[in-house]
A and B are shown apart, each in its own frame.
Chain A
Amino acid sequence: MAQGQMAPGIVSGRLSSDELTSNFTDLHPPLAPHEAAVAADRCYFCYDAPCVTACPTDIDIPLFIRQIQAGQPRAAGQTILEQNILGGMCARVCPTETLCEEACVRETAEGKPVEIGRLQRFATDDVMATGAQPFERAAPTGRTIAVVGAGPAGLACAHRLAVLGHDVVIHESRPKPGGLNEYGIAAYKSTNDFAQAEVDWLLKIGGITIETGSVLGETISLDGLLGNYDAVFLSIGLAGVNALRAQGADKDGVRHAVDFISDVRQADDLAHLPVGRNVVVIGGGMTAVDAAVKSRLLGAEHVTIAYRRARDAMGASRYEQDLAASHGVRIMCNVQPVAVHGNGAAAEIELEYTTSQEGRLTGTGDTVRVPADQVLKAIGQTLEGAPEGLSLDGNKIAVSDAGRTSMDGVWAGGDCATGGDDLTVTAVAEGRDAAMDIHAALSS
């Protein structure tokens, strides 16, 4: 039987350990000090800089870059972290090509923006290398706030509250804190267990307790939290996944991309992580790209992204699409899954071509079959387990700008709440701003 990449089915060990190690190194290696100086020198220190406007956390980018240029990366890091306590992770995972770097005037001028993301990493790495928190807590207020969910929004909220002198208990359902930073983000963007290192560093501020295995609606309730704490911040993410409406979608080998990504992130040894020979990822967002690229990096021979609309409608940025393409992922657009074929386990997926007329997507009736021993569904996550009594907007918890929900004493932010894109950086901004509002409410 064929071995390695050509082995049929979903098996582990398609690549050697050395190959896997090499594949899962940093996508963007850190800048050396001289590289950082040169990269920083390209910044024009724009007036009312467009990059800052484009940053959901409003980091003073020209200032921190000038601080790097002036030889003080630690001060630069402080500038970043004051606005975005997860600036280290955001430096790694932000789709800068659609945020700060897209807005950079040098992108306008030359198609080559200042490398803001890598410079941010240079600065925040310098701060984190000290091992110490650059912030101090205000005098204790005697208040305690419950945060539900230890993802980016929850952590950012908790940190800001702790800085303001409040105590915080974070209730987290999973065994580890970090949320999607820990379980969701592409492994090649966050190497060396950075997510946990960042959480450990963040918690050094003090006053924050994390209770893992604490599940809203099971071990804890919103009413209970409201009774025990001075305020509640919900950052429960999108725990549900959309179902694939296709015949045979229940066959072996069909699973959610987020679970696959989580397995990769949590794997002790990637050589033991199984992956298909022919992988088809359904979807067009960043999760689809992450899952597809990871499959290739694990040694899948053929990986296809099947997306139902045209390429320019994909949620993944052009940069992400190119990243997938450069890893040998084939991107099929205007196809939707109609059936998964196979005897018990998936062997092929049948895709129907689509056309879009006046925004309405319709199948053409023509189909094509693509070999698929593994089908990864990346067709979106949904809010699940939102407490009763909260107003929803669409399928998210409705909140004001400052994260106030319809219920007194309850704030929400991150992917579970309305407003902003579902990005780490947006979640951080929402957590931070909600903390300020909670503080204002408790202080009045």
Chain B
Amino acid sequence: MADLTTNFLGISSPNPYWLASAPPTDKEYNVRRAFEAGWGGVVWKTLGSEGPPVVNVNGPRYGAIYGADRRLLGLNNIELITDRPLEVNLEEMARVKADYPDRALIASIMVPCEEEAWKAILPRVAETGADGIELNFGCPHGMSERGMGSAVGQVPEYIEMVTRWCKQYYDRPVIVKLTPNITDIRKPAAAARNGGADAVSLINTINSITSVNLDTFSPEPSIDGKGSHGGYCGPAVKPIALSMVSEIARAEATHGMPISGIGGVSTWRDAAEFISLGCGTVQVCTAAMTYGFKIIDELTAGLSEWMDQKGYTSIDEVIGRAVPNVTDWQYLNLNYIAKAKIDQDQCIKCGRCYAACEDTSHQAISMSADRVFEVVDEECVACNLCVDVCPVEGCVSMVPMAAGEVDPRTGKVVEPEYANWTTHPNNPMAKAAE
């Protein structure tokens, strides 16, 4: 069995799975259940300043997108930070950390963008024995209207400033949680690093309206006939999260910065993908909210099994393995030429590849009267749409052409050398080949 022990910023946890700061980590009761179930760590539900806590709506806080069998694909929420008094949360955190010293316990914090506010709360958090803090610069609803959450996360200068305060008044690791509701994720990440952050975590939730009620014309979830955008999370957001994580992992200004990956982690495979793109831990929320804490058994066993199969003995060996393969479009090899190939033995003759290619792509699949579908190499640009729409996995594949073969579409010989857009003759900005 591969060792899943994780050391992230010096914070040790028995596995890389942390529960994200969210409803599942709002109370001692829930967190104890999570630790009993086997979770490696938790980021405690975001704390606010001392004083009367925030209030939540008293109607639906969540909305969902489903697959056909009501498999939850995406979740939207308008819950705010913890609505329990700071004192209560701090006491509970201290008790839980004392009882589970081997688990990671991170305090998520969101207080106004004033030095005094941070200066006031940080020592109190430190007293709990929490292993570190996560700055919630991500929540896209409610708190942002009060100048916190994503309102901070969208202004790199604020991120840097607040991070600096935190490093000044707190001596344990500081993680900055980023909002995806921004054009270029590298900017806030760089700001966090400049402010001295030990790590970033991402993504927080994405602005979303899950649906519109066509009887009442209210967005869902609806509170007395009105709706507000919420934060979208769950399996649907994973591709967005992976991309943002990869941007930070490979950008010059942020390369090598520890990342805690968040966004739709539902199975061990999702976790492995985040880790391979540079994450040292992953944070989970929606999957736990959908299925309960017991999913940790599959998450840990699956990751361990995969690592065993691949011969990896520690999480560190996996971190960042995919990062070198993430590149810009302009560096992709234009001499790599593939053609779709349909395995007639596996084909069930649904014709989806034909409809997709004929109607929306390159007319590169032929259909005979007896429903035999074949690729027309003269037209195929290897776009992969037929692979993507084929209901039979492995039936259509993309087969690379060997160097020296002639591409029937262009009539040109497949060149063995790598060549990209930067040197392509059609590129007005092309640099002359040396």
Across the interface, which residues of B come within 8 angstroms of A47, CB to CB? 350-352, 354-355, 367
CB of A69 within 8 A of CB of B68, answer yes
Is A211 an interface position by the 8 A CB rule?
A: no
Binary CB contact string for chain B from 342 to 383 against chain A (1 if under 8 A, 0 otherwise): 000000111110110000000000010001000000000000
In the complex, the answer to whether B70 meets A105 with C-beta atoms within 8 Å is no
B1 within 8 A of A: no
A38 contacts B69, C-beta separation under 8 Å: yes
B39-96 interface with A by 8 A CB criterion? 67-70
B155 on the interface (CB 8 Å rule)? no
Which residues of B in the span 365-403 have a Cβ within 8 Å of any Cβ on A?
367, 371, 391-392
User: Would you call A109 an interface residue if the criterion is a C-beta within 8 Å of the partner chain's C-beta atoms?
Assistant: yes
User: Which A26-75 residues have C-beta < 8 A from chain B?
Assistant: 34, 37-38, 40-41, 44-50, 69
A308–B392 CA distance with the chains assembled, in angstroms: 43
Given A47-B354, A47-B355, does the pair A108, B69 have CB atoms closer than 8 Å? no
Query: Which of A41, A48, A69 counts the most B-chain CB atoms under 10 A from its CB?
Result: A48
Interface check A106, CB cutoff 8 A: yes
A106 x B355 contact (CB < 8 A): no
Contact flags (1/0) for A70-106 with B, using CB distance below 8 Å? 0000000000000000000000000000000000011
Q: Considering the chains assembled together, what is the distance between the CA atoms of A48 and B350 in angstroms?
A: 8
B348 close to A45 (CB less than 8 A): no
How long is the Cα–Cα vector from A175 to B321 in the complex, in angstroms? 80
Residue of B nearest to A35 (CB): B69
A48 proximity list for chain B (CB < 8 A): 351, 367, 371
Are A105 and B350 in touch, CB under 8 angstroms? Answer: yes
Contact A50 B352 (CB under 8 A): no
B68 in contact with A41 (CB, 8 Å): yes
Contacts of B367 in A (CB 8 A): 47-48
Say yes or no: A109-B69 contact (C-beta < 8 A), given A46-B350, A47-B354, A50-B349.
no
Contact status A41-B350, CB under 8 Å: no
Other-chain residue from B68, B70, B354, B371 in contact with A50 (beta carbon distance below 8 A): B371
Give Cα A108 to B350, complex, Å.
10
Chain A contacts for B348, CB-based, 8 A: 105-106, 108-109
Closest Cβ of chain A to B326, distance in Å, is 33
A233→B354 CA distance, assembly (Å): 42
Whether the Cβ atoms of A41 and B69 lie closer than 8 Å is yes
Q: In the complex, A38 Cα to B350 Cα: how many Å?
A: 19
Residues of A close to B354: CB separation below 8 A: 47
Q: Which residue of A lies closest to B389 (CB)?
A: A44
Q: Give B374 Cβ to nearest chain A Cβ, in Å.
A: 14
- Residues on A with C-beta less than 8 A from B350 are 44, 46-47, 105
- Chain A: minimal CB distance from B66 (Å): 9
Residues of chain A within 8 A (CB-CB) of B355 are 47
CB distance from A366 to the nearest CB of B (A): 45
Residues of the B chain whose Cβ atoms lie less than 8 Å from the Cβ of A44? 350, 352, 391
A37 and B352 in contact (CB under 8 A), knowing A44-B391, A109-B391, A109-B392? no
Chain B positions within 8 Å of A69 at CB level: 68
- What CA separation (Å) do A44 and B351 show in the bound complex? 9
Smallest Cβ distance from A28 to chain B, in angstroms? 20
CA–CA, A45 and B371, complex, Å: 15
Chain B hits for A108, CB < 8 A: 348-349
> Given A44-B391, A50-B371, A109-B391, A34 and B70 touching (CB < 8 A)?
yes
Most chain A Cβ neighbours within 10 Å, of B70, B350, B351, B355: B350
With A47-B354, A109-B391 given, is the CB distance from A38 to B349 under 8 Å?
no
CA distance A108 to B391 in the complex (A): 12
A contact residues around B349 at 8 Å (CB): 46, 50, 105, 108
Given contacts A44-B391, A109-B392, contact A37 B351 (CB under 8 A): no
Alpha-carbon distance A308/B267, docked complex (angstroms) = 58
Closest to B67 in A: A41
Q: For the complex, what is the distance from the CA of A105 to the CA of B346, rounded to whole Å? A: 11
Complex Cα spacing A38 to B355, Å: 24
| Shortest distance between the CB of B380 and any CB in chain A (Å) | 18
* Bound: A50/B369 CA distance, A: 12
Chain A: minimal CB distance from B295 (Å): 23
Chain A min CB distance to B349 (Å): 6
CB-CB nearest in chain B for A34: B70
User: How far does the alpha carbon of A45 sit from the alpha carbon of B354 in the complex, in Å?
Assistant: 12
Which residues of chain B have C-beta atoms less than 8 A from A37's C-beta? 68-69
Q: Are B352 and A40 neighbours in the complex by a CB distance under 8 Å?
A: no
CB distance from A5 to the nearest CB of B (A): 43
Residue in A40, A46, A106 with the greatest tally of chain B CB atoms within 10 Å: A46
From A34, A40, A46, B351 is in contact (CB under 8 Å) with A46
CA distance A69 to B69 in the complex (A): 11
- Which residues of chain A from 92 to 133 have any CB-CB distance to chain B below 8 Å in the complex? 105-106, 108-109
Chain A residue at minimum C-beta to C-beta distance from B359: A47
Within 8 A of A (CB), among B86-111: none
Chain B residues with CB under 8 A of A45: 352
A417 to B227, CA, bound (A): 63
The residues of B that contact A105 with a CB separation of less than 8 Å are 348-350
B356's closest neighbor in chain A, by CB?
A47
A106 surroundings in chain B (CB, below 8 A)? 348
Q: Which residues of A contact B70 (CB under 8 A)?
A: 34
Min CB–CB distance A240 → chain B (angstroms)? 40
Q: How far is the CA of A50 from the CA of B372 in the complex (A)?
A: 12
- Give complex CA distance A40, B69 in Å: 10
CA distance A47 to B355 in the complex (A): 6
Q: What's the minimum C-beta distance from B376 to chain A, rounded to whole angstroms?
A: 16
A47 to chain B, nearest CB (A): 3
A46 touches B352 (CB 8 A): yes
Which B residues are CB-close (under 8 A) to A40? 68
By a CB distance below 8 angstroms, the chain B residues around A109 are: 348, 391-392
**What distance in Å separates the Cβ of A287 from its nearest Cβ neighbour in chain B?**
34
- From A110, which residue of chain B is reached at the shortest CB distance? B348
A234 to B371 alpha-carbon distance, docked (Å): 38
- Docked CA distance A46–B392 (Å): 13
Bound Cα distance A44, B391 (Å): 8
For A34, what are the chain B residues with a Cβ–Cβ distance below 8 Å? 70
Complex Cα–Cα for A48 and B372 (A): 12
Closest 8 CB pairs of A and B: A47-B351, A41-B68, A47-B355, A105-B348, A46-B350, A109-B348, A105-B350, A108-B348
Q: A50-B349, A50-B371 given. 4 additional CB < 8 A pairs? A: A37-B69, A38-B68, A47-B350, A105-B348
* Chain A residues near B (Cβ < 8 Å): 34, 37-38, 40-41, 44-50, 69, 105-106, 108-109
Q: Can you spell out 29 A-B residue pairs with CB atoms less than 8 angstroms apart?
A: A34-B70, A37-B68, A37-B69, A38-B69, A40-B68, A41-B67, A44-B350, A44-B352, A44-B391, A45-B352, A46-B350, A46-B351, A47-B350, A47-B351, A47-B352, A47-B354, A47-B355, A47-B367, A48-B351, A49-B351, A50-B349, A50-B371, A69-B68, A105-B348, A105-B350, A108-B348, A108-B349, A109-B391, A109-B392
Chain B residues engaging chain A, CB cutoff 8 angstroms: 67-70, 348-352, 354-355, 367, 371, 391-392
